[in-house]
């Protein structure tokens, strides 16, 4: 597959190069590599390895440093929005393998049209004989068997297109992508994570999570109660006090995940949050990407958070080294840049009174600072994988609060949580 793609790319480069030279231009190799035609070739190949492509792309972009070119980010966004649907015959085959040839006996009704589709599976609605509504998450066949080879092929494609810095050591990223995908492709593990998260939520009426139907759950099919909320973005039409209450609840939940429970749902996709207006509940979905944070890491991140709140650069630098952002080989200018970046990141915490997420340009400033650092220092070391997943969690939370145009006193929320 890679060889065939390479041949197509070379042919495209020769044709495009000849065309531009005829026009009096002197195109660079990079310009010839990512022509529209070659971008289409790359998209087509990545679509065949959707789950692996998405996971590698997430890991490479979770530090907000724009490691991948805009064209590749656009391709990954396209893949997110264009998840394919299993043919009915294939879908029935998965259900027969899970529940037997007479699988339909379990249901009063089963809707063959998915209500959601993602990189490794799709979700269907079903109704039990007692009229209980269910959501049935069904995995695409063969996903688990192809994870390792797909991740390796995605890396080969990115290297073939010269889309990742030569200084970056990909092995740790690839190993983490494989590990995480194997976890996400085991729906029994997700069922356990969902139950554990539900136990942590306990009696907190601000949130609800689906309940697992264990007799109808396998490694390939996860069956749970259906939650009927609307997209979390529906909150944007609500009054400010309603938006602020939801934003405060989401912030508190995220902090408890990291610092109290050490058990974090790291996928910040807005589709994983729903809002039930009648009960004012936030409904939490999709626990495939749940990760455990070690006690040592929680202590290190808490120390860094407090150092950032105090604003002393030497304390921030020492705490950043404990988390894994820095080591003794880093030059002073890079260490100073990381401290400045962390001060930017912690701006909501250091703000007196309410922080206006809706008007914040924090994400843009962070991106610009990272790009500048990397252009000047040509430094491409990624933090540890656990830290990257926390980036993903907190970065997604920031974007959600910005979408809700929330104005909340972040420092006050921290103060009310004794564990933080």
H helices, E strands: number in the chain: 17, 13
Q: Which residue has the tokens 């996709």?
A: 269
DSSP-derived letter for residue 398 is: H
Q: What is the 3-state secondary structure (H, E, C) of 341-382?
A: HHHHHCHHHHCCCCEEHHHCCHHHHHHHHHHHHHHHHCCCCC
Q: How many Å apart are CA 401 and CA 407, to the nearest integer?
A: 9
Spatial neighbors of 141 by CB under 8 A, at least 6 apart, are 90, 93, 94
Active site residue 267: yes
Q: Identify which of 377, 304, 395, 346 has the alpha carbon closest to the alpha carbon of residue 58.
A: 395
By C-alpha distance, which of 79, 17, 73, 15 is closest to 45?
A: 79
Q: Is the dihedral of CA 188, 189, 191, 195 positive or negative?
A: positive
**262 in helix, strand or coil?**
coil
Rounded Cα–Cα distance for residues 390 and 265 (Å):
9
- E strand or H helix that includes residue 160: helix 143-160
Beta bridge partners of 109: 127
Both tokens of 366, joined, read: 């962070």
Q: Is residue 133 classed as helix, strand or coil in its secondary structure?
A: strand
The CA–CA distances, whole Å, from 343 to 24, 243, 254, 316, 336 equal 48, 26, 20, 9, 11
Beta bridge partners of 121: 139
Q: Residue 214, exposed/middle/buried by CB under 10 A (0-12, 13-18, 19+)?
A: exposed
**Active-site hit among 63, 186, 267, 286:** 267
Catalytic sites, residue numbers: 267
């Amino acid at each position: 597959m890679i060889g065939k793609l390479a041949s197509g790319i070379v042919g495209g480069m020769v044709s495009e190069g000849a065309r531009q030279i005829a026009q009096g231009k002197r195109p660079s190799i990079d310009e010839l590599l990512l022509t529209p035609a070659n971008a289409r070739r790359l998209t087509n190949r990545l679509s065949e390895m959707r789950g692996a492509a998405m996971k590698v792309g997430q890991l490479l972009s979770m530090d907000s440093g724009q490691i991948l070119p805009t064209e590749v980010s656009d391709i990954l966004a396209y893949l997110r929005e264009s998840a394919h649907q299993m043919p009915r015959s294939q879908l029935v085959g998965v259900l027969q393998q899970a529940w037997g040839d007479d699988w339909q006996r379990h249901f009063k009704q089963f809707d063959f049209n998915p209500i959601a589709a993602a990189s490794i599976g799709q979700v269907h609605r079903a109704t039990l004989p007692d009229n209980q509504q269910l959501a049935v998450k069904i995995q695409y066949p063969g996903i688990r068997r192809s994870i390792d080879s797909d991740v390796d092929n995605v890396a080969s494609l990115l290297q073939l297109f010269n889309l990742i810095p030569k200084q970056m050591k990909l092995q740790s990223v690839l190993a983490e992508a494989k590990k995480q995908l194997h976890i996400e492709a085991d729906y029994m593990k997700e069922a356990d994570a969902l139950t554990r998260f539900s136990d942590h939520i306990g009696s907190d009426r601000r949130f609800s999570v689906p309940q697992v139907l264990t007799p109808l759950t396998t490694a390939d099919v996860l069956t749970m109660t259906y939650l009927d909320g609307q997209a979390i973005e529906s909150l944007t039409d609500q009054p400010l006090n309603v938006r602020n209450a939801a934003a405060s609840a989401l912030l508190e939940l995220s902090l408890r995940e990291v610092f109290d429970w050490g058990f974090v749902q790291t996928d910040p996709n807005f589709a994983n949050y729903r809002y039930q207006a009648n009960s004012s509940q936030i409904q939490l979905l999709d626990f495939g990407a749940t990760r455990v944070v070690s006690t040592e890491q929680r202590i290190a991140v808490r120390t860094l958070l407090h150092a950032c709140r105090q604003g002393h650069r030497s304390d921030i630098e020492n705490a950043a080294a404990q988390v894994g952002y820095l080591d003794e080989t880093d030059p002073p200018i890079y260490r100073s840049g990381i401290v400045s970046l962390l001060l930017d990141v912690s701006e909501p915490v250091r703000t007196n009174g309410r922080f206006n997420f809706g008007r914040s340009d924090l994400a843009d400033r962070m991106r610009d600072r990272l790009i500048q650092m990397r252009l000047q220092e040509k430094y491409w070391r990624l933090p540890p994988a656990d830290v990257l997943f926390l980036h993903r969690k907190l970065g997604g939370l920031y974007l959600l609060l910005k979408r809700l145009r929330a104005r909340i006193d972040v420092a006050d929320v921290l103060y009310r949580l004794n564990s933080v």
